[in-house]
Amino acid sequence: MTGARLNWRIVVGGGALLVLALIAIAAPLLAPVDPLEQDLFLELLPPWWQADADPTRALGADSLGRDVLSRLIHAARPALIVAVVAGVLTMLLGTALGLLAGYMGGMIDVVISRMVDIWTSFPPVLLAIMLVALIGTGLHSVIIAIVLIDWTRFCRVVRSETLAQTEMEYIDAAVIGGLKRGAILFREVLPNVLPLVIVLLTLEMSIAIIVEAILSFVGLSVSSDSPTWGGMIAEGRQVIHQAWWVMAFPMGLILIAVLALNLLGDGLKTALDPVLRR
């Protein structure tokens, strides 16, 4: 990526993500107590700034007396795993199909484009819930569901960008130069589509975090024991009138993660602008 320059969006967005990633990796070292440890004496304990708080439970405790801070820290793991794995797999599948449809044209294009139409006529949230309900709960299913649903996002963009690229003169030059179709696709078209794909990836990762949160909110992600942000929100929703903070903290973290990814995406878009702008 020649000419790409750092800007404040990349620094702030990327920095926040780096911190989140470090928290996820070092979760067992950072969490003050075991996130699964229940202590019914601490049930719905308020966070530190309120009157009857407990100094060992800085962000309070949930309805089973589990430490909110430790659960938040451990829940960063499933969120980031899903963001990275689902994001990258979605990118690979969608980009491959988009390149194929845009470059090959003909029947292949018709079939893939028709599939995209049918796919996008489902409400995505419902489709995700349906898929996970069918293939069973767990992190794997969440990732599979995201990939199977969201490949259309990459496919659409990459297809139209590939179509635009194949119209350009350098492709004609490559054809005259005797390059094979496969070589043109991977050596000429792909590098020009890549900046767009990278920007889409940051968007996809933020969507993956939200989808994981939604699925664990509905109770269809990892088992209810191990903490997830969405699961904590669902638990907090139950006790919202007694202890609003149980729901507020995981919401805040999801918000930070999503905003950081958006910021990074915007920053990359600007940094890669000479390539994107035409």
Partner 1 sequence: MSGSLLLRRLVQAVPTLFGVSVVVFVLVRVVPGNPIAMMLPPGASLEDMERLRQAYGLDGSIVEQYVIWLGQALQGSFGTSISLRQDVLELVLGRLPATLELAVLATIMAVTVGVLAATVGILFRGRWPETLIDAINGFTLAVPDFIWALALILVFGVLLPVLPISGRVDPRLGTEFATGFYLIEALVSVRFTVVGDLLAHMIMPAIALALPLAAIITRVLKNSLAEAMAQDYVMIARVKGFSRWRIIWVEALRNASIPALTLTGVQFTFLVGGTVLVEKIFSYPGIGNMAIDAVINRDLPLIQGLILSFAVIFIVVNLLVDLSYGLLNPRLRT
List residues near partner 1 by CB under 8 A.
114, 117-118, 120-126, 129-131, 133-135, 206, 210, 213-214, 217-220, 233, 237, 240-241, 244, 247-248, 251, 254-255, 258-259, 262
- Minimum distance between the CB of residue 57 and partner 1, rounded to whole angstroms? 21
181, 187, 185, 127: which is closest to 152 by C-alpha? 127
Sequence-ordered alpha helix ranges (H) in the chain: 8-25, 27-30, 68-104, 106-120, 124-135, 139-166, 169-176, 181-183, 190-217, 229-238, 245-271, 273-276
Closer by beta carbon to partner 1, 124 or else 171: 124
Q: Can you name the residues that pair with 67 across neighbouring β-strands?
A: 61
Closest distance to partner 1 from the beta carbon of 185 (Å)? 28
CB of 244 to partner 1, least distance (A): 5
Q: How far is the CB of 16 from partner 1 (least distance, A)?
A: 13
Map tokens 């918000």 to a residue. 255
Tokens representing residue 81 in the block: 């795993």
> What's the CA gap between 55 and 114, in Å, rounded?
58
**Cβ nearer to partner 1, comparing 179 with 218:** 218
Tell me how far apart the alpha carbons of residues 76 and 24 are, in angstroms, rounded to a whole number: 5
Of 38, 4, 57, nearest in space to 227 by CA: 38
Taking the least distance from each CB to partner 1, the nearer of 18 and 255 is: 255
Shortest Cβ distance from residue 45 to partner 1 (Å)?
Answer: 18
Considering the complex, state which of residue 110 and residue 183 has its C-beta at the smaller distance from partner 1: 110
CB of 83 or CB of 258, closer to partner 1 = 258
Residue 69: CB minimum distance to partner 1, A: 19
Closer residue to partner 1 (CB): 248 or 276: 248
Give the span between the Cα atoms of 198 and 195, in whole angstroms.
Answer: 5
Q: How many C-beta neighbours within 10 Å does residue 258 have?
A: 18
Nearest in space to 140 (alpha carbons), one of 218, 222, 236, 251: 222
